Chain A
């Protein structure tokens, strides 16, 4: 079997995920943005031969967006399954990305699915679905100050196997940047070193740390002919902050690296 998604493990997450899948347990992945959570889920889905239904959560997301709704067709109204219901029926990984963004009244539909019952009551059609054996619920979120209060309810959290992700260590991140962007190793090394310096500014000067994703973007832009400084400026400085003094400080930092 060839896997089209490239994923470089950081620890034992692959084995843990497999174990959870084998036991029908839901998984919760915590980690900062752009550290490989989504990529990991896609990779695992491929390895397990399951389909992924990804739902990007936001605060206007309703339970119907997950479960399904009635629509109007040529012959009157009909029911359409939402991504969650489809995964439950057909078997597959339902991946709720940034789950804390969703309102709490939306996520309650997950409860009966995430414990041993593995059921989904579909109120509007009066159905009670028992999850397919290959159904798996995966949620991810970014802990940290912004989400301090929006964190999951303890009653929700307690139902999940938890995995904590972080940015890969420097050597791995260099490999990932090279692989994903096709950049030269020394360029990737410089970018990763810069990225790690920028990560130290989190919580003080930056709300979010520079992600692996941003480093990959920067490498891609360098490949297409931008100078390193230009690429850093458009892919790292601007996305990370609007504050002028911080931008200037990052500018200095870039000068120190290239």
Chain B
């Protein structure tokens, strides 16, 4: 008998390796698309995500645990913090699939109900009690879950014994969460209660101090096999490394910018003639054969190594900048360097975006077919009676033939859109556990490109960042003349946070490119995460005024600029830059990817 219990126990405690009822197992990853909306509907904070929890050590009833050869004392319980709700990566506690599924929904509801946990026992009871009172439909599910849990606990711990006082209290509390007030002290740890939430593990705090490495490693070995679990230790290390790297890059860059003026004139004498016509910029033909030459330039100029995968195209483009103090457009003040990641590997749309991408693409494809009545046409499908009558009844009836037809034209939209993405250093900042701003921008660009490639609208995508006026990096991600392909997608996927935000220059260049497009409507869509700034005088008023100047100039040239920002202080300066109708502030950054295509539809007046 003892052997049997031990075996069962072993299976429960180590179910990450060997599930209780593998046939009835449900995966968190599969259910998340349902659990997440459910969580929000139940009142959970919309900013939180659902993630897989990692097994943690449990000080359970030692008598039994020792019997099970000690090592596996880890258990995936549910918990939450301000960032996310963690649920077990899979559940196979019960023989029926739908009970396991119900458990996920119950835990999600409980997490939405109870946003903090002070006292494990009381708070879980109170939340359960309130939840059941508010949502009468939950009763049935809950009762089913409780009897399944209690059955299992009876098998594992028996139904009597000296140490059972606590266990009995738990069972009673589960059956009737309204009645029990406190948990009797017990000498031994209790079996985890799968229906309740746990406090965040202390372990996470200790993980980043080195001494715990051993413990950590053995833990990680098991954990890493579990799909979807995050690895705390790794994450921390990564971020440290990145920081170091960034500082290093910046240093070498500074030295380079100091040198640039000296080196530049030498370059110009070079017979290489790496410089290519400025106009080539939006044409992607220059790549491989130039690379050899470019490498030389990079060597000469000591470009930061991390950017070796990007090819500077041409010698750079001189652009003016607005000096508001002097009220003067200073000629050739900026040097904009077009960049092309020609080594980026062509890739298909990433898995996590696939569904949305398809959806968007289909939706945009329908726009092809959208038709609108055009009035007063010289010919068409139907008489435009209004036009005809107008003419007949007008006091000065014209003798000439008037256009009196109406025609349904298929989407006569003539439109070119250039999407300009801010790739400054600030996009490196973390948004949540797994995402930085740049990741959201990447997804945004990808979905936008998918959508527009469905619609057949002309579009180009560029990114920018800068280090002072002599290096405004302008990354070609997809230009107007190429069709959107895996190649372009590869370039988008390869984007990285850059340096600073000299927005004026990037806007001027984008204006130039858009001007070459013959379309009627030309849209310059800017995705930004903050104010224009750079490490020289380009900050505060100066940067704002220069950017504004560039925008006004674009407007004068018939281009329609629009800015989408995730900067919550955007309302302070964007109206001045873009006009009150010329920008949108997205509060919830995670929505940016799906929002931008919608915004685009609104901008081009096609919203259905």
Contacts and interface: CB of A to CB of B under 8 A. Distances in A.
Interface of A: 59-60, 62, 64, 69-72, 77, 79, 124, 126, 145-151, 153-154, 190, 193, 197-198, 200-201, 203-205, 245-246, 248-250, 252-258
Interface stretch (B290-298, B390-398, B466-474): B390-398
Q: Give the top 6 A-B pairs by smallest Cβ distance, nearest first.
A: A245-B33, A149-B602, A70-B389, A249-B37, A205-B37, A256-B135
B389 A245 contact: no
Given A154-B580, A203-B591, 6 more contacts: A70-B392, A72-B385, A197-B43, A250-B41, A252-B34, A252-B38
Given A205-B37, A252-B38, A255-B137, A149 B392 contact: no
A60 B392 contact: no
A147 B134 CA distance: 35
22 contacts: A62-B375, A69-B386, A70-B386, A79-B393, A124-B390, A124-B393, A148-B584, A148-B599, A149-B603, A154-B581, A193-B134, A197-B42, A197-B43, A201-B41, A203-B588, A246-B37, A249-B33, A252-B38, A253-B38, A255-B137, A257-B135, A258-B136
Contacts of A252: 34, 38, 105
A97 B548 CA distance: 37
A148 B136 CA distance: 39
A149 B581 contact: yes
B607 interface: yes
A153 B588 CA distance: 26
B109 interface: yes
Contact of A77 (B137, B141, B393, B599): B393
Interface in B23-38: 33-38
Interface in B373-396: 373, 375, 385-386, 389-390, 392-395
A232 to B, nearest CB: 11
A69 B41 contact: no
Given A70-B389, A245-B37, A150 B607 contact: yes
Contacts of B138: 256
A204 B40 contact: yes
A93 to B, nearest CB: 26
Interface centre among A126, A146, A252 (most CB of B within 10 A): A252
A79 B581 CA distance: 39
B598 interface: yes
Given A69-B389, A148-B599, A201 B134 contact: no
A190 B134 CA distance: 10
Given A200-B43, A257-B136, A77 B392 contact: yes
Nearest to A198: B41
A249 B38 contact: yes
Given A151-B581, A197-B43, A200-B43, A146 B38 contact: no
Contact of B41 (A60, A150, A253): A253
A72 B389 contact: yes
A248 B46 contact: no
A62 B386 contact: yes
Contact of B37 (A79, A148, A204, A258): A204
B372 interface: yes
Given A77-B389, A256-B138, A204 B46 contact: yes
Contacts of B494: none
B113 to A, nearest CB: 11
A44 to B, nearest CB: 30
Contacts of B390: 70, 124
A146 B598 contact: yes
Nearest to A126: B395
Contacts of B393: 70, 77, 79, 124
A126 B37 CA distance: 58
Contacts of B389: 69-72, 77
Contact of B35 (A153, A201, A249, A257): A249
A250 B595 CA distance: 22
Contacts of A151: 581
B386 A147 contact: no
Contact of A145 (B373, B595, B605): B595
A234 B498 CA distance: 50
A198 B40 CA distance: 9
Nearest to B584: A148
Given A62-B386, A148-B599, A252-B105, A200 B40 contact: yes
B602 A258 contact: no
A148 B607 CA distance: 10
Contacts of B42: 197, 200, 253, 256
Contacts of B33: 245, 249
Nearest to A71: B389
B589 to A, nearest CB: 13
Contact of B34 (A70, A148, A245): A245
A190 B386 CA distance: 52
Nearest to B134: A193
A198 B43 CA distance: 10
B34 A248 contact: yes
Contacts of B603: 149
Interface centre among A151, A204, A248 (most CB of B within 10 A): A204
A205 B591 CA distance: 10
Nearest to B603: A149
B134 A146 contact: no
B386 A64 contact: yes
B41 A197 contact: yes
Contact of A146 (B392, B591, B602): B602
Nearest to A124: B390
B41 to A, nearest CB: 4
B442 to A, nearest CB: 21
A79 B33 CA distance: 58
A75 B140 CA distance: 75
Contacts of A60: 372-373
Nearest to A79: B393
B8 to A, nearest CB: 31
A64 B137 CA distance: 54
Interface string B577-608: 00011001000100100010011001101010
Contacts of B581: 149, 151, 153-154
Nearest to B101: A252
Contacts of B134: 193
B407 to A, nearest CB: 13
B106 to A, nearest CB: 10
Nearest to A150: B602
A72 B389 CA distance: 8
A197 B40 CA distance: 8
Contacts of B599: 145, 148-149
B366 to A, nearest CB: 14
A256 B109 contact: yes
Nearest to A228: B137
Interface string B10-24: 000000000000000
B584 A201 contact: no
Interface centre among A62, A154, A246, A254 (most CB of B within 10 A): A246
Interface string B109-147: 100000000000000000000000011111001000000
Nearest to B600: A149
Nearest to B580: A154
Nearest to B608: A146
B168 to A, nearest CB: 29
